[in-house]
Amino acid sequence: MPIATDGVFIPLTTNNPVLAGPVTVGNLTLAPSASLSILGNNLTVNGNLDAGTTIIGGGGTVVLAGTGTLKGVINAPVSVTGTYTLNGATTVTGNVDVAANTLDLSG
């Protein structure tokens, strides 16, 4: 399992990874056409998130907790508890909760 400061790269594979519990990482990058299923678990990112083609929610939430950039497709709710800037095409199919934090859409 990665720790909160680890950068994680998910390549295109025939067996896409599925979170078995909540996970916190530093930066997260998904290769084009790769996917990650969070299935009811929270995925916390403390740095940059390049969601590539798809992060599949299934009841979990993607938490953007640090400072970084965001792009890609996220089929899950997103909670911004840090400071983030869009860095390319971004699609979120769940709710986006920014609260009192920062999500810069001008990227």
pLDDT tens digits for 12-29? Answer: 999 999 999 999 999 999
Give me the mean pLDDT over the 17-44 stretch.
95
Give me the mean pLDDT over the 69-87 stretch.
95
Distance between terminal CA atoms of the chain?
31
Q: Across-strand partners of 29?
A: 9, 50
| The predicted structure's pLDDT at residue 107 | 64
Strands (E), 2-95: 8-10, 23-25, 28-30, 35-37, 43-45, 49-50, 54-56, 62-64, 67-75, 78-80, 83-92
User: Which of the four pLDDT bands, split at 50, 70 and 90, describes residue 104?
Assistant: confident
| The predicted structure's pLDDT at residue 11 | 95
